[in-house]
Each structure stands twice: as C-alpha cells, then as structure tokens.
Structure 1
C-alpha cells in the first residue's frame, strides 16, 4: 500500500516537472535571446547601423572648438578670440582635488571601479524606471558631450543613442586614463555665460585659475553639471537654486567621506562667493589691446597657411598668442584712467550745463555749425550704415529714425543707464564725454606693457592709442630741440632771447608770415633752453626752428617712427601735427634708449595648441640720434618735472585750496626720482597730453573729446598738466608700489663721452634760469 502511494507520488511529481519544463525552456530561450539581442544591438551599433561611430583617430582628436588665447608677459590670460566656444583646455594636474572629488561623489561614485558602464547603476535605473537616479557614468556623459549632444526625443532614438554612448564610453576607457577622461569632461562642459570648459568657468564666475578654486567654489561648479542653465549663479538667474544644488554636492561629498560633516555644515551656510567677471569681446582687461590682437591674428592667418595649405581657424584651433602686455601694469593703467576720468568729466559737465553753455557740449560754434557737425556724425554712425546697407532704408527714413525715441542703454561713469532717448540726442550725449588714450613701453626692448585705448570698449570702440591721431601741442617741441642739439651742439644751458620772432612767408614753404606768441605775454630777457622747454616758451622754440629749418625736424620725426604726414612748415614747432599716442611713445622711447629707435612690440610669438611656434617677432631698430644728443634732450625734459608744468609730480603735500584740488585727486605723488617729460596743450584746450619717461619705462597719455569743438573753456582745466598728467602720476605711483615690476627710480645713463655740459650750475653759476609758477597760476599756457 505504501509502495503504491510512493509510486503515485513520484508519478505526480514527474508529471508536474514535465508540465513545468516548457516554462523553463522558454525562460532560458528568452534569456539567451535577450542576451543575443543585446549583443546584436551592440554589434549593429558598432557596425554603424544606428549611425556612424567615431573611429580611433576621432577619439584621439575629438572635434571641440578651442578659442585663441591671448596671454600676457606674466602668464595671465588677457582674453580670448572665439566665435561660439570660449574654451581653453587644462590638464588633470591643473584641477584641484576638491573639484575632482566633488565630481566623483556627485556624478559617479564608482568611477574608479568600472570600465565605462556602471552595471549596478544601470540595473537600478532599469528596475526603478529611472526614479532612483540615472546610470550614466562620467565616461558616458563625456561620450554624449563629445559625439552626440542633447540626443533624440523618440524612444527608439534614445535607446540607440544610449547603446552608442555605452560603446563610446568603453572605447574612451580603453583609449584614455581615468584622469584624462575627467580632464576632458571638465574641459568640454558648457557652464553658461561664455564659460566653455572649467578654465573659463573658474575665471568668469570666480576670477581664478582652476587650480586656485576652493572647496565650495568647486562644489558650485560641479553642481552646474546637472543643468548649467537652471543652476546659474548670476543674480538675475537662479542664485538660490544654485546654492541649494551646491549644498547637495557638499552632502554627497560628506556621504562618500571626501569631507567631514562639520565641514559640510559650515560651508552649506555660506553664500556662493561669486566674483562674476564676464568674458566677451567688449568686457574684461585690455579690451582695446585685444581688439588690436584680433585684427593682427586675422591678418596673420590670411598670410600664413598651415603646412597642408588650409587656413588656421582662430576660433577653433586653440592658438596661443603671447603678448608683451604686463597684466599688472595694464590693471594699474586702467585703474588710473578709472580714477581720474570721472572727476575730470564731472568738472567738464559742471562747466557745460545749458545755463553756463547754451551750445553744450560744444564751444565756439554757432547753431548752424553744430547742426552740420551732427548731420555729418549721423551719416558716419553705425546706425546709418546698418539701416542703409543692411536694411536698405532710404535716406529720408534713416534721418527720421534719428528723431524717434528709442529704448536704449547708455554709458555713464556711475553705471549703465536704461533709458528712452532719441538716437540724435544719444549722439550728442556721447560727444560730451572726454576720452583717454594711454600706452606704456620698455624703451630698450620695445615691449608694450600697457595699452588703454579708451574708457569703455562696449560703448566707445575707437582706439585712441593707434587709430586716433590728434594735435600734439608742446609734446612736439622736444623734436625741435633734439634736432637743434644734434645739428648745432647746443647745451641745455645755452640762452636765447624770449622776444618775438617772425618767420617771413615763403622762407620754409609757409604761405603766410608766422609770428608765434607766448601765452603769458612775456617777451623780455633771455632764457636757457632748459627753462624755455620747461615753461613752454613758444618764441624760443620758434627761434630753434628758424635755425635748423622744418625739414630736418620732420626728417627726425619720421626716423623716430612717426608715420603720419607732417607739413614742412615752421608752425609744426608748436605741435600742429596730428599724431597718435602709439607714435609719440615710440618716438620718446628713442631718447630714453640712447638715440636708438625700437619699433613697439605687442606680440612676441604665436603657438598652436601643441606648443609648436608658428610666429616669432623680429626686432626692428635703427640709430636715429647720437647717444649724446639723446641724453641732452632727456636732461632738457627733466627740467619739465623739476621746474615746469610737470613739477606737481614732485609735491609731497596736498594743496589746501585752488582750482586743481577737485580733479587732481591722487596728490601728493611725491616722486623724487629723475623723470623726463613734457606736457602738451593744443589750441582752445581741445587736447591734453603728458609724455613721461624713466630709464626703463616710457608712457604717453592723451585726453580729449571726440570732436575738438567739445573742450574746456579755459586753460585751468584744459591743459595737459590737468587733463593727462594725473593719469600718468596715478599709474606710475601704482607701478612703483609693486616692487616686482622693477620700474626704475635711477638716473638716466650718460654716454661714455659727453662733450655738452648739461649741469647749468657748472655752465654758468650766476644764471637764474627763470622762476616757478605759483599755485594760483596755471602750470602750462602753451599752444
């Protein structure tokens, strides 16, 4: 009985197993089919059925646009030339460990234990239908960034893309080290606001190099990987959300033991610490100089193709342009402009209220002349060009548009102003602004150290260093003196009469008789050449011109690097020629360089992204003056800063009262070292200049309005000593305070053989070479 029962039970079990075996077979068939299907999908994807995959060479050289980088002489990035991508790659060694840890903790905790695909994360994402978080590894995300972008919107497309990402991720892991993949991922990501890659992001959001990022800054940037548009730290975007996202990253770092709970808690309470420094073609440091470099490099690539005959892509090939600009000196120059110009502008605006000047900002023009000036400016404007040639509007339509109120943002020294204004009124508004131009260079090497072409490139794009040419006034006089010293072997201690002189018509090609006047009306007695130059005595300069003739003076100016046309007439002695700051600085540098002209150098060399030198500058220099004549001219110009219009640089006290106090903030400069220089003021106070030199640095400053009809009414503020000299003083004071720059405080080196006496005490101890102007009398009254 028991045996029968056992047999029946065995038969029942066998029957059940027999009934269940088809399911087991189907399970294994489906399982194997699934594996086969997955393998097939990978094979099909690798064969390119779902779209072409990058080959070995593409993986080695992924196509990412690399901006051209403009680098200062002290190794700082001044800016970049880019079209869409503001990207400059960095190596893994340049990434701080906190930044790497933040990425791993937040994006891929098992990064170092997988080979491109995180199996655990993938299974979790499948079983939880993505609700437990994504499964993309850093390698997969890099694959997506490099080769697929945002991806497909349909299900099939997303599946095929995911498969391709897996394949590419595995290839990336085989091709690169883990560290290289992390570096590529940081370099490829778009952090928004032109911050393409980690180097741009660190600079734009925190004004730092990546290696200098601290823990909370690193956490914020890694937090942006989730969505750089949503988690954008700029105030008008989402600072609260960005901070919350940063705190999530800090929590992840604490979870995976990269930081302690105490550190996490303390940092989560802090603000973002943002130092937003926008990088665009119109913002940042040395904008006018960068515009020059942009034009230079565009011209260079046209004339210098690659070895295969194709052109370099300045927006994508990652060129590096090494310049002579010193970022510290550039910042000091820009700061000097920013300190002085608003104060000078405030005084100009005070004098040009409608009550004080009904034709403001213009002087000496009647209404018909002003109307003609504005119409001419209208036709020269970008608005006219755009409407005429891009929009094909008629002249009548364009003219009417200038009188139609328009919403716009305008410049002011207190910040941008959103307003509604007629374009014609905005043109008049901008013509009231005084503009600066400034350049500083090493006279020995020709290396340009600072270049300020204006006060705001976004609103004023005309470069007043190299593009602009304005009357130079008395800053031209040293050319006359140098010619006379070179030809006649004159000493600074030689005397000439101050009396009036007339150079007859036709003597030197001049059509009319020329009788210059001294601005102070004093024509009595004699003066030494040193005192005459220090006090800009016009009649003595005219006598020197009459002795040597205008042609030798013009010839000297040309040898000194002046390219502008200079009329060969006696009146050029007082600075009637229009020259640029660039030309004037190079010319003056020749005096400091013992008579040797060195062409200014802005770019030392250009490299490709691999460090191969593509361009190396060739120095250009020539002998112009004897070392003796150059030195004597320098000693003459030293008198300007000891006894003349530049003497205020020597003050060690602040004037208790006087018309200068409001705009000459920065006194006392207290310079005691040798300084050679010359101020310049043109007719009607339209242009103010100061050229200043120490043995290893020559700097020129110009200040004036866009139109010469906009100027100060009197010499009090309208002279070079008030308009331009303060910028030089503020700049040099900052340079001297930075001892690493090694700006010279020593004497100008005398030539080995000096036959001309430069010490007037030894030359004639009984001679009193003039008197100093009092505080109430303007320092310079020259034309």
Structure 2
C-alpha cells in the first residue's frame, strides 16, 4: 500500500546565490562600462579640453631666453617663466633615482598609471591623495587646471589617466622624466630643474650632490611646505629630504651606511636668485633687452611671426667676459662704498644736502620733477586721484626697504616717499665699460651701483660732460694734420681767442686749473698736467670743426656738439660707451671698430638666427694714433694718473678715507687721461693697454650733487681708483691674457716720441713758430 504524500510539506531546496552573482557581475560590468564611458568622455573632452596629438608632440611651454658670456657662463635670462630645458643626459643619476624612489617606485613597470593609487583617489574623492605616477603628474602640469572641489578632483584623475596613457605611447620613460623635471616650478622663479639647481645651489644639475638632489625631489611633494629657504619650513624640508634618502635606500640606490651618513648632513643652500634685478651684468642685460627688441622687429620667424624673448628659448651669445664683468663689479663696489662714506661725511654740515650751489626753489623743482616721474605718482594718477592728495601722500611716512652700502644690501626703514627721493639723490653713481680695441668686443659693462634701485643706465643711456678727457681728441687732430711730436714745445702762457673766431662770442682766455704759468712745455707735459693754455692754442690753430669731424669718425654722436672753441676743455656731453670706443681707436692704430655686444643668436634648436659682422674704418694714420698714445702715456708717468704707478696715495692724509687700501703699483705701459668738470660734478678716467680700453665715469644723478672741493671731486680720486682696482684683478687672472707690453710702434715712424733723445739732438728746440697761424682743412 502506497503512502500518500502530504502536499503541504515541500522538499527543502538548497540555497542559491545565482541572482546575487548575476547582480554582482551586472554591477561590475556596468561599473566597468561606466568607468570606460567616463574615460571615453574624458578623451572626447567632455570634462575639459584635452590635448591634441600635435600638442602631445609639442607641449606648449614658456622657454626663457638665455644670455651667455664669451667664456660660456650664463649671465642671465629673459622670461615669463624662468625655464631652460636640459636633456636627460644632463640629469645626474642620483636625481633620477631619488625621483623614482620617492614619487613612483613602479615607474618602469607601468604604462602611465598606477591602478591602485587612482582607485584610492576615486574612493576617497582625492582626500588621501592619488599616488599619481610621474607621468600623471606631468600630464597635470602640462594640461590640467587646479580643481575647485572633490568632484572635479575625481574627473581630473580621469583626465590625467587618459593623458598619461597617451604620453606613455608618445614618449620614452627617459623623455617623460626630463619633461617633468623641466616643467616643475620650484619657487623663486626657478621653473625647471636647471633653474632650480642654479638658484638653490649655484651649480648645474650635473654637479648636484646626492643630498642636494634629494632636497629638490623633496620639494616635488609641495614646494611651499618643504621650502628649504624659508626659516619656518626648513625643518619640514630637512625631514622630507631625509625621507627621500630613506626611499632611495629602500629601493636599493643607497646602502644603509650611505643613507645614515647623508641624513646627518645639515641642509645647506647657496641661494643665487636669477630675477631681472639680480645676478651679474644687470645693466648690460637691460640694454641687451632693448637691442633684442629692435632685432626682433627686423627679423621675423619663417612663418612671419615675431620672436618672443620671454618664451621662445633663444640663446644669445655676447662678448661679455664673465670674469672681467665680475672684476669690474667688484671694483665698483669696493671704491664706491668708500667714496660714498666720504661724500656723506662732507655733507653732514651741508644745509642743502645732497645738493650744492642751488636755491631753495631750485631744489624744490628738482624734487617735484622726481615726484612726478615716479612710479607712485603714475599709479595714483591712473586712479584719477587729485594731484594735491597725491603730493600729500609723498609726505606720509611708511615702511620701506632702501639700498645701503652697508653690507651692500637693502635695509628696512621708515621714511616718507619724499625723503626717499632725497635719500637716493644723495648717492654717487658710476658708469664703466671695458672693450677689446682690436675686435670691438665689449668685455665688461657696469651701468650703475645697483640696478634694483637705480634703473638709469650710465654707460650708453647717460651722457655727461667729459672734461679733460676730451683733450686727446684736440691733440690727435693737430698731430694728424701737423705731424707734431709729443716733444714739441709751446709757451705755457694764457692764450686769448678773440670774439668772432671759432664761434667765440667774446674774448676767451682759459686759465690753468693749477693757476701756474710760464716757461716752455712739451705737448706730453701739457697733456699730463692738463694745461688748458696749450689745448686752447691747439684748437685755435685747428679750429673746432676738424675736431668734431674726428669725433664723428670715432663713433661719437656729434649732432648736439656746437663748433665752438670751448669744446677743447670738455664742455660737451658724451656717453661712456662712445668715449671707450673712441679711445680704442688710438690703441688700434687709428682704425675704428664698432663695439660688439652680441656675437650670435640661436633658436632653441641651435639654428643660428644672427651672426655679427664686424664694422671698421680708417680714421687716422697709424703714426698719428701711436703718437697720441705716447702723449697719453705721460699722464700715468708724471701727471694726474701717476698714482697708478705708486703706493703713495695710500698713506697721503687727504686721500686717507677715499683710497686707503688701493696700492695699484702698476708698472706696465698705460695710456690714459683723467677728467674733471666744473664744480666737480663729473669725474672721469680713460685708460688703455694694448688690448684693453676701459672708461669710468663717477658723479651724482644731478649735477648739483658733488664734492665741495677738488681733492675728492677730481677724476683721479672719483674714477681712477675703479680702473686701478679692476686692472689689478684682471692682471691677477692670467687666463685673460691682458697685455702688459708696450704699444706697438709703426714700422716707419717719422715722428720722434723719445723726448730725452729729442732734447739731446735739438737743445734749443725752437719749433714753436713752425705751426701756421690757421689751418685749412
């Protein structure tokens, strides 16, 4: 008998997870599809602009134009971003190891992304970081904006992932590392590893030590938080550097002993900012900038576009020698700091300091003019602020940083803008240029005492009265036309040029500054002692027109020089640049060579865009040039330049404060001339050796800012010491090969230059009457 089953009782079934499995795989596939779709959308640019293939091939970067010296050193840069890219081969091995060990341990294993890191970034919405690969970090630097919220952070990770994969397909691992390090901003205008290395450690990347490379890699995490220069972040920077070293040891790049030893080292920097106001040759670079802008106007790219010196990565090779430039700047600093101390001392009892010889109204006019030329005035005028309120603001005291010779650095102080104008006008300034007479190459250029605070340039921009440094042009004109010897004698008596002759409006009888007259003097003695009486006699014979004509041939702008006899004593305004190039012609055997500042220019790929072509012309005979040089040698043998030969000035009481410590003791042949203008407003010294011509000017910004007397106000005290210090430094550096030899005489010299020999042969020397009353040129 069969049993009947109870329908109410069902057979128990085994539990099933099918639907959960289906749900899981469905969600998983949907998630993958969603993520894939998001990546597709990111690739299409739905979440922001994505780079094209061409942009990946040539990522847009601002490349600094770099200025090189003739000896291969970087003088400075022009930039929007101070970036100068370098090649992978120029990166030190330890830097690459530190980077990979710290930022991306699996760098050589992945194809641009670290899946775990990116998923973590999505999961935590970016709050715990994304462990971005080096490639992702590069993609962020090149193409992504900074996200404003968490959602944007997630979307940015998607974009970085897509770009990173594209970058990995487009570039090698080495190229990606190079691009990343060339792009990163290390603060203080140090964009890219080369700028960072130079600015933080004053060296090229290839010379970085392991601990220095670790400091820069440490900054990649956060350059502000791990800033090694800021005092409050130095501890962070040191700890992070040591963490980098630990990562290097962990990844087998350092052993335990090396790591421990390097971690014990202090954090040492050699900070050298590369701002436009800092570094070497600042005034030269400012002038060069205007040169390049003119060149750009005349020279276009093949596609017709203009070059951009701030982003096209040009390489400008100049004639400046970095060593000579350094010596010139050191000489200026050494002397001007001492001279300023003496100038300030002599102004303590000057009620109108720093001005002299001016009324109260004249001084007020100078200050008002300076106020209206100031940046502060212009900025307030653009805001339509009434002039009376602007003027009142110049009397309100405020905190400011001002230049000081004390430690040659800025100091913090409180003063009104009006007082700051008085303060800056109390400084003496300078212009100095050094040039090779044979090639025209400008070797050193110092346009002032501090470019940051004194922007006006005193080599080419400024023109000042040249005083007695003009006299060699008068002598050279007479020698070239009359074949006079340096031994030729003339009476040292006052000479009058009557009214109506040579542009003289009334009788002109110049006096000697020494007040001494009488007897016969040779031309060499007359120039050495800067006798105005002899110069007046010579220009009366030649006339001013031939002298001006000579100046024009020597490269001087003569458009503002009137043909009057008074120019003989240096009443004309000429720049240091013009004076040096003109004097160089005497040292170059009468051949004028146009000064060179740029030898050639290359684009970022090394293609030559500009090549200098020398310009020269014959100005006077080789014999006349040589005789003029021999005349100027007398200035340093027995005249106002004699102190270059001895150490007597060091112990002379009245030079005690200004020239202590300047034992020049130069023994080689030197042709030169000092110059001092009326009221000691301008002091000059022009000095030459066979292969180097150098000129120095010293004075106040305003002509009424000057020494009260001739002791300190003469060119021999104001300007000559800079020349002497500079030349001593130049001669100490034997690699420069600056000549100590005699000036080369012409093969056929018909004019006698040995005055001792001439005196023996012609003891009577009755040649004063041989000059005709007037020359017909």
TM-score by length of 1: 0.92
Aligned partner of 1:625 in structure 2 is 620
CA-CA distance at 1:304 after TM superposition:
2.5
CA-CA distance at 1:493 after TM superposition:
1.0
Aligned partner of 2:366 in structure 1 is 373
| 1:728-750, Cα deviation, whole Å (9 max, x unpaired) | 11111111111221111122122
Aligned partner of 2:351 in structure 1 is 358
| 1:311-345, Cα deviation, whole Å (9 max, x unpaired) | 22222211222211111111111111111101000
Query: 2:473 touches 2:547 (CA, 8 Å); kept in 1?
Result: yes
Q: Of the candidates 382, 391, 396, which is equivalent to residue 399 of structure 1?
A: 391
Query: 1:679 touches 1:725 (CA, 8 Å); kept in 2?
Result: yes
Q: For 2:384 and 2:142, how far apart are their aligned partners in 1?
A: 42
User: Closer, same or farther in 2 for the Cα pair 1:685/1:63, shift >3 Å?
Assistant: same
Q: For 1:243 and 1:596, how far apart are their aligned partners in 2?
A: 61
Aligned partner of 2:93 in structure 1 is 97
| 1:483-540, Cα deviation, whole Å (9 max, x unpaired) | 0110110011111111111111111111121111112221111111111111111111
1:681 aligns with 2:676: yes
Query: 1:640 touches 1:647 (CA, 8 Å); kept in 2?
Result: yes
CA-CA distance at 1:129 after TM superposition:
8.5
Query: What pairs up with 1:8-47 in 2 under 5 angstroms?
Result: 15-16=13-14, 19-47=16-44
User: Closer, same or farther in 2 for the Cα pair 1:272/1:63, shift >3 Å?
Assistant: same
Query: 1:666 touches 1:730 (CA, 8 Å); kept in 2?
Result: no
Query: What pairs up with 1:447-466 in 2 under 5 angstroms?
Result: 447-466=441-460
Query: 2:67 touches 2:74 (CA, 8 Å); kept in 1?
Result: yes
Q: Of the candidates 731, 746, 750, which is equivalent to residue 755 of structure 1?
A: 750
1:416 aligns with 2:410: yes
Query: What pairs up with 1:521-600 in 2 under 5 angstroms?
Result: 521-564=515-558, 565-600=560-595
Query: 1:645 touches 1:721 (CA, 8 Å); kept in 2?
Result: yes
Query: 1:651 touches 1:667 (CA, 8 Å); kept in 2?
Result: no
Aligned partner of 1:435 in structure 2 is 429
User: Closer, same or farther in 2 for the Cα pair 1:398/1:152, shift >3 Å?
Assistant: closer
Mean CA deviation greater in 203-212 or 648-657: 648-657
Q: For 2:35 and 2:45, how far apart are their aligned partners in 1?
A: 15
- Describe the SS at the equivalent of 2:303: coil
| 1:165-190, Cα deviation, whole Å (9 max, x unpaired) | 11211221121111111111111001
- Describe the SS at the equivalent of 1:660: helix
1:616 aligns with 2:608: no
CA-CA distance at 1:131 after TM superposition:
8.7
- Describe the SS at the equivalent of 1:358: coil
CA-CA distance at 1:653 after TM superposition:
6.6
1:178 aligns with 2:173: yes
Mean CA deviation greater in 485-494 or 108-117: 108-117
Query: What pairs up with 1:310-389 in 2 under 5 angstroms?
Result: 310-353=305-348, 356-388=349-381
CA-CA distance at 1:549 after TM superposition:
1.0
Aligned partner of 2:58 in structure 1 is 61
Aligned-CA RMSD value: 2.2
Q: Of the candidates 258, 262, 274, which is equivalent to residue 263 of structure 1?
A: 258
Query: 2:512 touches 2:532 (CA, 8 Å); kept in 1?
Result: yes
Q: For 1:386 and 1:124, how far apart are their aligned partners in 2?
A: 51
Q: For 2:209 and 2:648, how far apart are their aligned partners in 1?
A: 44
User: Closer, same or farther in 2 for the Cα pair 1:406/1:629, shift >3 Å?
Assistant: same
Q: For 2:237 and 2:671, how far apart are their aligned partners in 1?
A: 54
CA-CA distance at 1:363 after TM superposition:
1.9
Query: How many correspondences in the alignment?
Result: 751
- Describe the SS at the equivalent of 1:360: coil
Query: 1:666 touches 1:726 (CA, 8 Å); kept in 2?
Result: no
Q: For 2:92 and 2:763, how far apart are their aligned partners in 1?
A: 67
Query: 2:535 touches 2:569 (CA, 8 Å); kept in 1?
Result: yes
Aligned partner of 2:110 in structure 1 is 114
- Describe the SS at the equivalent of 2:654: coil
Q: Of the candidates 220, 225, 231, which is equivalent to residue 230 of structure 1?
A: 225
Q: For 2:188 and 2:237, how far apart are their aligned partners in 1?
A: 15
1:75 aligns with 2:72: yes
CA-CA distance at 1:464 after TM superposition:
0.5
Query: 2:649 touches 2:655 (CA, 8 Å); kept in 1?
Result: no
Query: 1:69 touches 1:80 (CA, 8 Å); kept in 2?
Result: yes
Q: For 2:524 and 2:641, how far apart are their aligned partners in 1?
A: 13
Q: For 1:375 and 1:767, how far apart are their aligned partners in 2?
A: 63
Q: For 2:208 and 2:66, how far apart are their aligned partners in 1?
A: 21
- Describe the SS at the equivalent of 2:655: coil
Q: For 1:631 and 1:88, how far apart are their aligned partners in 2?
A: 47
Query: 2:429 touches 2:701 (CA, 8 Å); kept in 1?
Result: yes
Mean CA deviation greater in 359-368 or 138-147: 359-368
Mean CA deviation greater in 686-695 or 650-659: 650-659
1:472 aligns with 2:469: no
Q: For 1:127 and 1:148, how far apart are their aligned partners in 2?
A: 21
Mean CA deviation greater in 548-557 or 421-430: 421-430
Query: 1:340 touches 1:665 (CA, 8 Å); kept in 2?
Result: no
- Describe the SS at the equivalent of 1:289: helix
| 1:611-646, Cα deviation, whole Å (9 max, x unpaired) | 222222332211111111111111111111121111
Aligned partner of 2:297 in structure 1 is 302
Q: For 1:192 and 1:373, how far apart are their aligned partners in 2?
A: 41
User: Closer, same or farther in 2 for the Cα pair 1:57/1:126, shift >3 Å?
Assistant: closer
Query: 1:323 touches 1:603 (CA, 8 Å); kept in 2?
Result: yes
Query: 1:498 touches 1:539 (CA, 8 Å); kept in 2?
Result: yes
User: Closer, same or farther in 2 for the Cα pair 1:161/1:375, shift >3 Å?
Assistant: closer
1:275 aligns with 2:267: no
Q: Of the candidates 709, 732, 745, which is equivalent to residue 737 of structure 1?
A: 732
- Describe the SS at the equivalent of 1:698: strand
TM-score by length of 2: 0.93
User: Closer, same or farther in 2 for the Cα pair 1:132/1:386, shift >3 Å?
Assistant: closer
Query: What pairs up with 1:211-222 in 2 under 5 angstroms?
Result: 211-222=206-217
Q: For 1:238 and 1:511, how far apart are their aligned partners in 2?
A: 73
Query: 1:190 touches 1:197 (CA, 8 Å); kept in 2?
Result: yes
1:150 aligns with 2:146: yes
1:165 aligns with 2:160: yes
Aligned partner of 1:513 in structure 2 is 507
Aligned partner of 2:280 in structure 1 is 285
1:487 aligns with 2:484: no
Query: 1:68 touches 1:81 (CA, 8 Å); kept in 2?
Result: yes
Q: For 1:58 and 1:201, how far apart are their aligned partners in 2?
A: 26
| 1:693-734, Cα deviation, whole Å (9 max, x unpaired) | 111111110000011111111111111111111111111111
1:187 aligns with 2:179: no
Q: For 1:237 and 1:611, how far apart are their aligned partners in 2?
A: 43
User: Closer, same or farther in 2 for the Cα pair 1:422/1:132, shift >3 Å?
Assistant: closer
Q: For 2:733 and 2:292, how far apart are their aligned partners in 1?
A: 32
User: Closer, same or farther in 2 for the Cα pair 1:127/1:471, shift >3 Å?
Assistant: closer
CA-CA distance at 1:767 after TM superposition:
9.2
- Describe the SS at the equivalent of 2:66: strand
User: Closer, same or farther in 2 for the Cα pair 1:694/1:768, shift >3 Å?
Assistant: farther
Aligned partner of 1:139 in structure 2 is 135
CA-CA distance at 1:401 after TM superposition:
2.6
User: Closer, same or farther in 2 for the Cα pair 1:696/1:214, shift >3 Å?
Assistant: same
CA-CA distance at 1:397 after TM superposition:
2.7
Q: For 1:671 and 1:349, how far apart are their aligned partners in 2?
A: 30
Query: 1:685 touches 1:711 (CA, 8 Å); kept in 2?
Result: yes
Aligned partner of 2:4 in structure 1 is none
Mean CA deviation greater in 203-212 or 758-767: 758-767
Query: 1:203 touches 1:209 (CA, 8 Å); kept in 2?
Result: yes
